[in-house]
């Protein structure tokens, strides 16, 4: 088992859990900051977690839901208080409703995760600070220590799986539930560069093209929350898409926290009905920047129709162009 010691201090109101791994610190850090990876071990084996949000930067927030063997749900949140990339992060951890809002009727704790290199790998020190002795006893009685042991016992398998999260993998679309799809791609470039690539019209027109044979003809950007945007594409006369009809999308910015996170609405121009909500999060990882795009569809039927269009392949083609643009800068 990775856990080597658990120490509960009823005077300091803390519980310190120490675990050791054969993987280097960088690999262990990535496992905790990549939503695709942390959801494979954060919940106990019979209560797997799905992370709908995971913003690893000061002021960021995570929201996850664990699903039990009978389909029952238990949700939680992290509020990131501090982040020292590759070394530590501190969160406020608590229970949440399924939409991610805090359940104030349940106790919240403060947790620090410290990553240390070792000769044979890495060490993770997790310190939980409880608000009171009653809070400590309540959380232990609810199975917090046992849950951490089960979660830690699953990390080794995730750390050993290098191919699923390699930086050279293309865009990957993961269906999270009936209306949520998460598209993930590691892009070789810094967080600031990838953010700029989504907010510089001249740069966007060079990479946000989808399949070959199209040109971006309109790129009206939103500058702040509440502003609208409009993107349009047209087929190139002598290109692979010659003869096809042009199309476009429009929407508005709901949230923006540069250069880490942006939430927008999106709807196809000329189409009736509700569109999608797109939540983009940029996280520094080994190999570049992990771009996570959580798409919320109005229904499972709309989700399936959009995925069947080859959306993921088109996004991969664009992200590959984006990488080429960043490398040439």
* Rounded (5°) CA angle 296-297-303: 125
Pairing of strands 276-285, 261-268: antiparallel
Residues 143 and 181 in one domain: no
Q: How far is CA 154 from CA 21, 39, 58, 65, 272, in A?
A: 11, 11, 27, 18, 45
57 with 146, same domain: the answer is yes
Among 162, 189, 207, the domain-final residue is: 162
- Both 55 and 119 in one domain: the answer is yes
Q: What is the pLDDT of residue 146?
A: 82
286 and 312 in a common domain: yes
CATH number at residue 87: 3.30.530.20
Q: Tell me which of 162, 191, 225 is where a domain ends.
A: 162
Residue-level pLDDT at 239:
66
pLDDT, tens digit, for every residue of 227-258?
Answer: 999 999 998 877 666 677 889 999 999 999 99
pLDDT score of 240: 65
- Burial string for 288-300 (b: 16+ CB within 10 Å, else e) reads bbbbbbbbbbeee
Whether 258 and 235 have beta carbons less than 8 Å apart is answered as no
pLDDT-flagged residues of the chain (< 70): 1, 239-242, 329
1 vs 223: CA distance, rounded Å: 50
| End position of a domain, from candidates 162, 191, 209 | 162
**Number of domains observed in the structure of the chain:** 2
167 inside domain: no
pTM: 0.90
Residues 140 and 180 in one domain: no
- Evaluate whether residue 13 is within a structural domain: yes
Residues 24, 156, single domain; the answer is yes
Are residue 133 and residue 206 in the same domain, yes or no? no
Please indicate, yes or no, whether residues 90 and 211 belong to a single structural domain of this protein: no
**Domain span holding position 117:** 3-162
């Amino acid at each position: 088992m990775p856990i080597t010691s658990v120490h509960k201090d009823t005077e300091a109101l803390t519980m310190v859990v120490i675990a050791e791994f054969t993987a280097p610190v960088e690999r262990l850090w990535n496992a905790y900051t990549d939503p695709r990876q942390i959801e494979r071990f954060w919940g106990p084996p019979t209560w797997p977690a799905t992370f709908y949000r995971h913003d690893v930067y000061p002021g960021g927030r995570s929201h996850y839901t664990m699903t039990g063997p009978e389909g029952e749900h238990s949700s939680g949140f992290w509020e990131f208080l501090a982040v020292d990339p590759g070394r530590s992060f501190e969160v406020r951890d608590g229970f949440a409703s399924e939409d991610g809002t805090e359940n104030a009727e349940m106790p919240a704790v403060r947790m620090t995760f410290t990553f240390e290199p070792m000769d044979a790998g890495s060490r993770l020190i997790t310190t939980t600070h409880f608000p009171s002795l009653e809070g400590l006893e309540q959380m232990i009685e609810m199975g917090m220590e046992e849950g951490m042991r089960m979660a830690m016992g699953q990390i080794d398998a995730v750390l050993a799986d290098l191919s699923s999260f390699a930086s050279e993998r293309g865009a990957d679309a993961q269906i999270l539930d009936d209306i949520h799809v998460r598209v993930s791609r590691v892009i070789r470039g810094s967080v600031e560069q990838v953010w700029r690539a989504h907010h510089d019209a001249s740069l966007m027109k060079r990479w946000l093209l989808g399949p070959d044979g199209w040109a971006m003809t309109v790129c009206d950007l939103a500058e702040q929350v509440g502003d609208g945007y409009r993107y349009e594409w047209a087929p190139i006369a002598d290109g692979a898409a010659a003869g096809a009809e042009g199309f476009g999308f429009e929407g508005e910015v709901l949230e923006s926290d540069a250069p880490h996170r942006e939430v927008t609405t999106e709807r196809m121009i000329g189409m009736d009905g509700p569109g999608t909500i797109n939540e983009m999060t940029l996280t520094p990882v080994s190999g570049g920047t992990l771009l996570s795009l959580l798409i919320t569809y109005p229904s499972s039927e709309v989700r399936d129709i959009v995925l069947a269009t080859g959306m993921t392949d088109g996004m991969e083609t664009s992200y590959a162009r984006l990488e080429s643009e960043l490398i040439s800068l």
